[in-house]
Structure 1
C-alpha cells in the first residue's frame, strides 16, 4: 500500500516514529519534484538499514568510506567486481565478506550515511514551509528487502538514535544562524588578495588550497578532521564580507574518482567560482547544447533552463550574470519572461539577450519595450555568442577549466557574523 502526503518537520518525525512502532519493512521516500531531488530511508522491522539520496550520492559514500575506512581506497574496494558498482549496502556487505573492512566499519559507514541524510531531510522539510513547492512522501512496503536479508547479515541501526543525532546536529546548525545554508555547499574564495591581508600566512595557504569550490563543507570537515559546525563558523566572517562564497557543486563522477584513487593524483582545478555564470532559457535542445558548448569551452559557467514556466524560480536560485532568452517557446514566450525578469529587482541590471529566428524591426521594438539588452539571431555561431557576452560582461574574464567540465553555480553569500577560529582549524 502506498501512502502519499506533504512533509513538514513534525510530519517527518511522526512518519519515522510510525515506521518504528509498526516494525515497518520497506522504504520511506521523500521527494522535491521541482528540483528533482529525493531522499529514501530503508527500514527492516522498524530499524534503519540504509539511506540514499539523489544529492551527492557518490560524494557522500566516498566521504563516509574515507572517514571510517581510511585504509581502503575506493579503487581497491571495487576490484572484486565489474567496472560499474552500486555504492550501497550490498557493496559494503561484500567488502566485509572479503575481509577488506570490518563489520563495525560497515556499521559506521551506514550510520554516518543515514545521519547525514536525516539532517538534510530535516533541513529540507523546514525550508519547504516557506516555499510554494512542498516535499511529498511515499511509504512503500517491500518484500524484496526480506529476500535481500537472506543473502547477508543485516546491520540494524537504531532509528531513534540516528534521528536524535541528526536532530541535535540540525538544531545546533540552525541556532548558529545557518538554517538556509546546506553543508552540501562548497566554499570558494572570491577575493584572494583581500583575504590574504586578514589571516596568517599558514592559514591562508591551507585555505587557498582547500576552499577552491571543489569540496563541500562536509568534505572539508572530513579532510581536516574537524567538526562540521565550528569549521563552518570559522569561515562565516569571510563569507559575510564577500571574500568567500558558498556555491553548489555537482556530484563526483564515479569513474573519475576511481581513477584518482588508482593513480593517487590530486583532483584538477575546476572552473573558478569567479567566472561569470550565463543562463539560457530555450526549449530547443540543440540550441541549448550549442550555447553550452561555446561558453563552457570559453571558460564561462553555464546553466540550461528548458521549461520556461519554471524559468524565474531557477534564475532566482542561481542569479546568473547574463541571460539568453529564446523568443518562441510553448506556453509562454520570451517577451513575457523578459517582462517577469525585469519586474524582479535582482535582475534589473542583468543583461537579457533575445534569441530569435526573425531579426526584424517589429521584434526589436518589442524587445526594447520589455527592456531586453540585445538580440542574437539564429543560427547560433560561436563568434556571435562570445562577442555579445564580452560586450555585456566586459569587466570579468572567465578562467579556463583544466580538463574537467563540472558545473558550479553562482555563489550564495551568507549574511552572518561569527568569531573566527580559522587559524586554529586550519
Structure 2
C-alpha cells in the first residue's frame, strides 16, 4: 500500500531554472557605450547600465580617454582585472559556483563606502550590483534588499500587513517595506507551490515573489530542506542486493537524465564486478513530488543511484557514512551476531507503538507512516538469511532515524507540526 506523501517545504520543482528579475523602471540618462567585447573570457556581463568609478568610489568624468566611456550599457561584456580564486563557502557577498555546484569561487572586489566594486582596469571600477555574469557563469549574491508591494492582480495585502513564517520566525511585512532576502525556493501554497524568497536571518520564513517589487539582479542560492541531486545521464536505481549480486536481480528502473532527486544519505557500496567500492546516494523515501520512475524505484526498494551519475543541486551537503574499506568488509553475508543491533531496535516496537506520538492523529501520515515503513523493511532484512552486513547497517540507520523522528516530533505555538527530523 502506498503511503501518503509528506509535503516538505522547499521542493525543487521549477526553481532550478529561475532567472533573475531585471528592474527596468529606471534607465541611466547619459549616453551608454556599446559592448567592448563579446567574448566570455575574463569578462563581466552587465545586467544594468553602470557608471565607471575610481578606487575611491567617485564617478569618473573620463575613462580610457573619453567621457563617453564612463557609462556602460546593459548587456555589455567588459574585461575585468584580477583572477578568479577559490573561497570558503558562503564567505563573500558576490560569488560563483564551481562545477560541483557546491564549492565557491570569487572575483576579488573592492568594498568602497559600503558598496562592492569590480576592477575593470585603467583605473576604472564598476558596481558589482550591476553584474550578473562572470566569464559566462551566473553571479550569485549572498543577500539582496527587495521591496514589498501589494499590486498583484489577484491577491492584495491586508491593510495591517501580512504575517509570514511561524513561531519565533513569524514576521509582519507591509507594503512598501524593504526586506533582505538570502535564498530562493518553492513553498506550498494551497494545492500548488509558489516561488519564494527566504527572509534573511530566518530558517524558513518566505515571501512569495509576486509580492516583491524589485527582484534581485543576481541569483540567490537555492534552499531546500532535503538534499537534491540532478542526474547527468539516464541512470539505474539499485538495491544493495542488486549491486552486490547483479546476476540474480531482475528488477530494473531507469531514472531519466536531468531528473532532480531528493536524497538522504551517501554511502560506499562494494561493487564486485569492478572490484572496488563506489559512492551511492540513497533516495529519500518521502518526496514532495515523484516522477513515475522515481515512484517505481521506491516501491521496488531500489533506493540507490550512483553518485558518479549525479551532481549536487541544493540542501545539506552529504558526506559518506562509511569508508571504501568498510564497504568491502560489509559486503559479506550477515550473521546473527551482525544483526544484534537491528533486533534490539525491532524489539522496541511495543514501546514505540504505545507512545503518545505514535497514537497522535496529526502524525498518522508522516512520522507514524515513516516509522511503520522503516520497521517493515527492518523486519524483512532481519528475517533474511542472504542479506549483507551493508543491508543490515542500512536497516539499522533507517529505523533509528524514523524512530527518533517520531518520538521527538513536537508542535509549534500555532498548532502546526514542527519538523524535527534530522536525517541528513
Which category of TM-score, normalised to the shorter sequence, fits these structures? under 0.3
More strand per residue = 2
- Higher RCO structure (Cα 8 Å, ≥6 apart): 1
- The higher radius of gyration belongs to 2
More helix per residue = 1
Output the TM-score relative to the length of structure 2.
Answer: 0.25
